[in-house]
Homo-oligomer: A and B are copies of this chain.
Amino acid sequence: MEKKFRRPRGLEEKGKNEGAQKRPHLVISTGRRTARMGAMDLADLLLGRPLATEEEKAERIGPAKGIPIFGLDALSSAAYGPEAALTLLIPLGMAGVAHIVPISICVIVLLGIVYFSYRQTIEAYPLGGGSYTVASENLGMWAGLLAAAALMVDYVLTAAVGISAGVGALVSAVPAAQPHTLEICLGILALVCLVNLRGVSESGGVFLAPTYLFIGCLMMAILIGAAKTVAAGGHPAPVVAPPQLKSATEALSMWLLLRAFASGCTAMTGVEAVSNGVGAFREPTAKYARLTLTWIIGILVAMLAGIAWLTDAYGIAATPPGEPGYQSVLSMLIAAIGGKGWFYGVSMGAIIVVLSLSANTAFADFPRLARAIAQNGFLPHSLTTRGRRLVYTQGVYMLTILAGALLVFFGGITDRLIPLYAVGAFLAFTLSQAGMVMHWKRVRGAGARSGMWINALGALATGITVAVVLMAKFKEGAWITVLLIPGLMLAMRMVKRHYEWVAHETECDAPLNLANLHPPLVVLPMDRWSRVTQKALRFAMVLSSDIVALHVDAGEQSEELKQRWRELVEVPCLQAGRKPPDLIVLESPYRFVLQPILAHILELGRDNPNRQISVLVPELVEPRWYTSLLHNHRSAVLKTLLLFKGNLRITVVNIPWYLGE
């Protein structure tokens, strides 16, 4: 049978005359104009024009672009990792500073182990193997969920810590801004969120300049500092002296060193990025990804080693965070090496930008992780929907809200966020390495044995670190992640269960059942005889011949209505030979209007157990929103009540009446 309606102008028709039955399935390609109907100009201005799905482009990259894109998060950790360890050494006074060297050596050794582990992951997953993928594929659902929860916590903290550390650098350079730390943090978060809703393409040059500037400045400072230190025989004179240290308030203990090491481990966060994104590299992907990883880890090791040596040499201790007079360790170090001239300014600027951008990497990774989890049904489906700019919008919002909550809760102070940070990251490392062990076991063959041993070492080392961090940081905040991660896992499991249940409930493989297609019993609540009622009644008469009009009498006389009903409805119906609709008056001594209607409809449902009931709800639509304040909104309330108190057999038909049309 042919369609009765004209085809809209300018729309093409595809897929006609295909399929077994030779029935036309019309495919209409809506043009830009139509698709964008209703989109506001403000959204265009803020977020940019919508992008078509086919506009997505996948540029393949090499190490030069790979280092900034995938290394930013890891490299920027050098700006807060050593500081986090030094902050814990404050109570030891000047004597504490020297301990940064052995702590950094431990971190660097761990980094080396993780490096060799991840080289193997890159080899094994040339399309990209994040912890979630590796753990769920090799260790089963629960391990996958554990990795998912750990990574979600990790990314939220990456965003929060990146921003708070960037603002920490800012208030070091501009001490007057210190009282507004939290406000500046939230402002930057909002900006990062907006930029990500616009969907900054990763291959854009945004990351290149600041990352290389950051590497350049820091390496330059380290080299100059190293030269001066060697020239001065190990004890160089600072150009700008760091603030005076208070004397020791605590004695050295193993426990304190363990806690400082646990904090220092945050310097390693972000090194998994390359293995997640192997697919983005030029062919052969694994080769270029490994090369990039080598560069990143090499630079990071150089930075950590240099910072540790020079802070010790210059005698730079951390200042108490969140208090007036706070200055970041890198700020003091660079000022001590080169003074507070233009080099200091450029370096601090690069640090601020790189730290803010490292928050941005969480915004690139979190929505994709959330999508991957949601595609498996463990998170709300809406996380898989791409917004106008091809970005997983809901994931961006979710990350913004969670990171914002963390910043508000911890006052935007990096040091308070650190205890929560390392657990998630190292848990994800451990699961990824452990998954790789299982991978090698399955694969077997040449190199599998040595590969397995390397990954097992990685899993062991990172696993021990998780235990150390948990223990050392438990009271300070790690307990939050201990509650959060299993909670997230359970929640994800329940989401999956719910979706399975809904799918089961709505699943239908049966063909359309055409039996028992009876007209419904129609109910029409009405106030008085008006054009609106007449329109609704005409619709009712098309629908069925069993019509009940309901009128609620809350004290006023309804005799006139009954009289009019007889004259204006019943007489014409009888003359036309149709069954006239019934008018039922519900007396309402308590003056409730909707409850008697609802009760009566539900009663009708019980009394007619095999019948559909259609409730016709006429509704006035005002041309202006403010005039709608002059009317009661019983129609809207009745629709809602029927939706929530109704049942499968009750359908609600909304008959809108547009005033002034």
Q: Is the CB of B653 within 8 A of A648?
A: no
Contact between chains at B531 and A508 (CB < 8 Å) = yes
- Interface 1/0s, chain A 551-586, versus B by CB < 8 A? 001110010001101111111111010111011111
Q: How many angstroms between the C-alpha atoms of A596 and B27 in the bound complex?
A: 12
Q: Is the CB of B629 within 8 A of A511?
A: no
Task: Quickly give the copy total for this chain.
Answer: 2
Q: A54 contacts the other chain (Cβ, under 8 Å)?
A: yes
- Residues of A10-29 at the interface with B, using a CB-CB cut-off of 8 Å, are 14-15, 19-21, 23-29
A40 contacts partner chain B, Cβ-Cβ < 8 Å: no
Q: Is the CB of B660 within 8 A of A505?
A: yes
- Cβ of A471 within 8 Å of any chain B Cβ, yes or no, is no
Chain A, range 52-78, C-beta contacts under 8 Å to B? 52-54
Task: Give Cα A3–Cα B579 distance, bound, in whole angstroms.
Answer: 11
Residues of B within 8 A of A589 (CB): 29-30, 32, 35, 52-54
Residues of B within 8 A of A381 (CB): 630-632
Partner of A627, one of B27, B498, B534: B498
Contacts of A543 in B (CB 8 A): 542-543
| Residue from A385, A502, A583, A660 with most neighbouring chain B CB atoms (10 Å) | A502
Identify A5's interface contact among B37, B554, B608, CB under 8 A: B608
Quick check: is A510 within 8 A (CB to CB) of the other chain?
A: yes
A600 at interface by CB-CB < 8 Å = yes
Q: Is the CB of A658 within 8 A of B653?
A: no
A386 part of interface (Cβ distance < 8 Å): yes
Tell me the bound Cα distance from A542 to B542 in angstroms. 10
The answer to whether A25 and B499 have CB atoms under 8 Å apart is: no
**Measured CA separation A612–B536 after assembly (Å):** 12
Inter-chain contact B578/A514, CB cutoff 8 Å: yes
* Closest B residue to A32 using CB positions: B590
Nearest B residue to A520 via CB reads: B542
CB pair A517 B541 closer than 8 Å: yes
Q: In the complex, are the beta carbons of A505 and B659 less than 8 A apart?
A: yes
Does A652 lie at the interface of the complex (its beta carbon under 8 Å from any beta carbon of B)?
yes
Cβ contacts under 8 Å, A583 to chain B: 25-26
B510 touches A568 (CB 8 A): yes
- Shortest C-beta distance, A568 to chain B (Å), equals 4
A650 touches B656 (CB 8 A): yes
Which of chain B's residues have a CB closer than 8 A to the CB of A599? Answer: 30, 34-35, 37
* Complex-state Cα separation, A38 to B646, whole angstroms: 13
Give complex CA distance A538, B511 in Å: 12
A582 to B15, CA, bound (A): 14
Asked if A328 CB lies within 8 Å of chain B CBs, one says no
Query: A23-B580, A537-B512, A589-B54 are contacts. A647–B661 as well, Cβ < 8 Å?
Result: yes
A504 to chain B, nearest CB (A): 10
A475 at the interface (CB under 8 A from B): no
Say if the beta carbon of A639 comes within 8 Å of chain B. yes
Chain B residue, CB-CB nearest to A28: B586
Q: How far is the CA of A88 from the CA of B448 in the complex (A)?
A: 96
CB of A450 within 8 Å of the partner chain: no
Chain B residues with CB under 8 Å of A558's CB are 27
A595 lies within 8 A of chain B by Cβ: yes
A653 contacts which of B505, B570, B653 (Cβ < 8 Å)?
A: B653
**A600 surroundings in chain B (CB, below 8 A):** 8, 28, 30
Answer yes or no: A295 CB below 8 A from chain B CBs.
no
Contact with B along A471-509 (1 / 0, CB 8 A): 000000000000000000000000100110110011111
Question: Do residues B590 and A388 form an inter-chain contact, with CB atoms below 8 A?
Answer: yes
Q: A50 at interface (Cβ–Cβ under 8 A)?
A: yes
Q: Which of B25, B598, B620 contacts A37 (CB 8 A)?
A: B598
* CB-based contact B639/A621 at 8 Å: no
A562 engages B19 (CB within 8 Å): yes
A192 at the interface (CB under 8 A from B): no
In the bound complex, CA of A583 to CA of B28 (Å): 11
- Supposing A38-B598, A659-B505 touch, asked if A651 and B555 sit within 8 A by C-beta, the answer is no
Closest Cβ–Cβ distance, residue A363 to chain B (whole Å): 20
Return the chain B residue nearest A21 by Cβ: B566
- Asked if A512 and B658 sit within 8 Å, CB to CB, the answer is no
How many whole Å from A548's CB to the nearest CB in chain B? 8
Complex Cα spacing A592 to B38, Å: 11
* CA–CA, A511 and B576, complex, Å: 12
Shortest beta-carbon distance, A513 to chain B, in Å? 7
Q: Is the beta-carbon distance between A585 and B657 smaller than 8 angstroms?
A: no
Chain B residues, CB < 8 A from A499: 630
Q: Give the chain B neighbours of A539 by CB distance below 8 A.
A: 520, 612, 651
B534 pairs with A512, CB closer than 8 A = yes
Which one of B542, B554, B631 lies within 8 Å of A519 (CB-CB)? B542
User: How many angstroms from the CA of A188 to the CA of B514 in the assembled complex?
Assistant: 65
**A137 CB contacts on chain B under 8 angstroms:** none
Which chain B residues border A14 with CB–CB below 8 Å?
587
A28, A584, A627 — most chain B CB neighbours (10 Å): A28
Contact (Cβ within 8 A) A21 B511: no
- Known contacts A24-B582, A52-B589, A502-B620; 13 further A-B pairs (Cβ under 8 A): A26-B585, A27-B586, A28-B586, A29-B589, A382-B632, A505-B659, A505-B660, A509-B568, A512-B569, A512-B572, A514-B576, A621-B644, A648-B661
Q: Which 4 A-B pairs have the closest CB atoms?
A: A52-B589, A29-B587, A506-B530, A6-B607
Which residues of A pack against B, CB within 8 Å? 1, 3-6, 8, 14-15, 19-21, 23-30, 32, 34-39, 50-54, 380-382, 385-388, 495, 498-499, 501-502, 505-514, 517-521, 529-535, 537-539, 541-543, 546, 548, 553-555, 558, 562-563, 565-574, 576, 578-580, 582-592, 595-596, 598-600, 603-604, 607-608, 612, 614, 619-621, 627, 629-632, 639, 641, 643-648, 650-661
